[in-house]
Structure 1
Amino acid sequence: MISALQAQRLSKRYGHAWALRDCTLNIPPGRVAALVGPNGAGKTTLLHLAVGLIAPTAGDVEVFGWSPRRQPTVVLARVGFLAQDRPLYRFTVEEMLALGRRLNPRWDDALARRRLSAVGVPLRRRTDKLSGGQQAQVALALALAKRPELLLLDEPAASLDPLARREFMEGLMEAVAEDGLTVVFSSHVLADLERVCDYLVILSAAHVQLAGDTDEMVARHKRLTGPRCDGESIGRVHSVVQALHTDRQTTLLVRTNGHIYDPSWTVSDVLLEDVVLGYLRAPGVHALPKPQVVSDSEWVP
């Protein structure tokens, strides 16, 4: 099966700083993937590389087996991209629809109009005069009217109030249910991701820390509570993601490698938020093979 989005040792460097480094990733088609990480982790860089807005320093990225740099026309026809700043310019909504018709060969004008009518967006109003929630709905309608197979969303609801965010997420999931889209969704709002995403990618310090099926990742991680210790015995069998100590007690977040037999530990389930925050607090921990670092001598500006 061809991956919806595949990266092999993908790296991007700006001057002496790496925005993304040795990113290896394989997102299956038909998934709604959460892309999570702190500011500066490389999330936006990864999405920009996937649509060909920037060129990689090293490595490669493919969308359904096509390169956004070598076959840009093919990739752009299959990808919808919603940037964080939602660039709608100073056109009316009607003019934005006309622009979409001219630029996209698979444009579905009826779909865009139906979605905008359902959320009450006036077509004759200029986009800069719309509310933030309305702007987000216009941007989503434009992206979906391309009839993409892969939808990339970069913090699309970050500036929205709770009601506008919920309406945006409902519209997104309606589209996923109708069309079987693959979605890669970058967000800091973990509650949104937990409701809609079934695949998890954690980026930290320009590296991929964790990637896989959300339910599987949550099920494999446990919280262990027991008497104060260094956790070395657990670390010989399982992967310790995070360790917290008080004078009398140790609490571990571990990625299990089978059953935990030691009766001195109390084992409890965790939530997606616990897993994400555990890895983000320990950026040196990887659930993937340790990245092979691209040396400076391999970089060609």
Structure 2
Amino acid sequence: MDIALEAVQLGKRYGRRWALQGCSFRLPAGGIVGLVGPNGAGKSTLLHLAVGLLRPDAGDVRVFGRSPYDDPAVLPDIGFVAQDTPLYRDFTAAELVQLGGRMNARWDAALARERLGQLGIPPKLPVGKLSGGQRAQVALALALAKRPRLLLLDEPVASLDPLARREFLQSLMGSVTDSGTTVLLSSHLIADLERACDHLLVLRASRVRLAGAVDDLVATHRQLVGPRHDGEPIAGVGAVVRARHTERQSTLLARVDGVVDPDWTVHDVTLEDVILAYLGDGETDTTRTDWEVPA
């Protein structure tokens, strides 16, 4: 199996604060990988490390086996659309396509023009006058025209309305099918990830909490309802991710690895259930004592 992106104990520090720490994962080539986590979890830092804009302070990150920071030869294989979809706002879309051809060795101008034409993007209007959805589509078309093997997208649909968001994701999925490009898509919108992604990476408090194929993650987690649980082992349960309790009953979201104790009622879960359980596991970068006023 080809590995598109790999991190081994990856870390990045700003001053004394670790924005990313002990981050390890391997993402297979092909398909769309969802990157999810709360604000400040390290998602943008991870993407900037993966595209070579930042140097790691610990560990290593590799794109198709090469360091994006130390080996410029891998950069043509990487496409990147930053969170605010930065474009030269006084340039028209046609001018940006022409500019891309002067800056990229294997530029596919015909692909960009065809995509933008299909989407009805006006070629001669400055992109600063386009809608947010149109600008996002221009940024995606330019990134795809680079013919990257790995495409990194940092919250590309966060500011779009539902219709523009759906059109963007449909366009993205069609492009991946046609080109075989691997996509790492950062988003807070779990419903979009469930619809578009076949692999998932969850960050919380600067660390990887969960990684794997979406189907496998959903298949190996269940909601259990049963007698009050005080931490004792449960047959068939590998780990309890989240627990809610009443005086006599507990509701658990758990990773299962066998036949569950019949004292527990077992329910299927959605991808959203799994993601929210790992995001809400209680660990944060700060604690209540950080806000206490000295006596």
User: Structure 1-normalised TM-score?
Assistant: 0.91
The 2-side partners of 1:229 and 1:15 are apart by 42
Indicate the residue corresponding to 1:296 in structure 2. none
The 2-side partners of 1:229 and 1:132 are apart by 49
Indicate the residue corresponding to 1:83 in structure 2. 82
SS for the counterpart of 2:233 is helix
CA 1:188–1:171 in structure 2 vs 1: closer, same or farther (change >3 Å)? same
Q: CA deviation at 1:227?
A: 2.3
SS for the counterpart of 2:3 is coil
The 2-side partners of 1:183 and 1:69 are apart by 19
Q: Which structure 2 residues correspond to residues 198-217 of structure 1 after superposition, within 5 A? A: 198-217=198-217
The one-letter amino acid of 1:137's match is Q
SS for the counterpart of 1:188 is coil
Indicate the residue corresponding to 1:29 in structure 2. 29
Maintained 8 Å contact 1:234/1:240 = no
Maintained 8 Å contact 1:205/1:283 = no
Indicate the residue corresponding to 2:264 in structure 1. 265
The 1-side partners of 2:74 and 2:253 are apart by 40
Maintained 8 Å contact 2:116/2:137 = yes
In the alignment, does 2:100 pair up with 1:96?
no
Indicate the residue corresponding to 1:166 in structure 2. 166
The 1-side partners of 2:163 and 2:240 are apart by 38
The 2-side partners of 1:132 and 1:93 are apart by 14
Maintained 8 Å contact 2:236/2:257 = no
Calculate the aligned-residue CA RMSD, in Å.
Answer: 1.4
More deviation, 168-177/225-234? 225-234
Q: CA deviation at 1:116?
A: 0.3
Maintained 8 Å contact 1:198/1:215 = yes
Q: Which structure 2 residues correspond to residues 116-135 of structure 1 after superposition, within 5 A? A: 116-135=116-135
Maintained 8 Å contact 1:2/1:65 = no
Maintained 8 Å contact 1:5/1:62 = yes
Q: CA deviation at 1:284?
A: 4.5
Indicate the residue corresponding to 1:274 in structure 2. 273
The one-character-per-residue Cα deviations of 1:57-78 (angstroms, maximum 9, x if unpaired) are: 1111110011111112x22200
In the alignment, does 2:240 pair up with 1:240?
yes
Q: CA deviation at 1:180?
A: 1.2
Q: CA deviation at 1:31?
A: 2.7
The one-character-per-residue Cα deviations of 1:187-207 (angstroms, maximum 9, x if unpaired) are: 000011001111111000000
The one-character-per-residue Cα deviations of 1:278-298 (angstroms, maximum 9, x if unpaired) are: 00000549xxxxxxxxxxxxx
SS for the counterpart of 1:276 is helix
The one-letter amino acid of 1:265's match is W
Q: CA deviation at 1:178?
A: 0.6
The 1-side partners of 2:161 and 2:74 are apart by 33
Q: CA deviation at 1:256?
A: 1.0
Indicate the residue corresponding to 2:56 in structure 1. 56
Q: CA deviation at 1:42?
A: 0.5
Maintained 8 Å contact 2:237/2:254 = no
Maintained 8 Å contact 2:236/2:259 = no
Indicate the residue corresponding to 1:294 in structure 2. none
Q: CA deviation at 1:236?
A: 9.0
The 2-side partners of 1:259 and 1:214 are apart by 21
Q: CA deviation at 1:44?
A: 0.5
Q: CA deviation at 1:235?
A: 8.1
The one-letter amino acid of 1:166's match is R
Q: CA deviation at 1:2?
A: 3.6
The 2-side partners of 1:202 and 1:237 are apart by 21
**Structure 1 residues not aligned, in runs of 5+:** 286-301
The one-letter amino acid of 1:191's match is A
The 1-side partners of 2:241 and 2:152 are apart by 29
The 1-side partners of 2:186 and 2:239 are apart by 26
The one-letter amino acid of 2:211's match is A
Indicate the residue corresponding to 2:288 in structure 1. none
User: Structure 2-normalised TM-score?
Assistant: 0.93
Indicate the residue corresponding to 2:290 in structure 1. none
CA 1:106–1:283 in structure 2 vs 1: closer, same or farther (change >3 Å)? farther
The 2-side partners of 1:234 and 1:281 are apart by 22
Maintained 8 Å contact 1:223/1:254 = yes
Q: Which structure 2 residues correspond to residues 211-230 of structure 1 after superposition, within 5 A? A: 211-230=211-230
Indicate the residue corresponding to 1:291 in structure 2. none
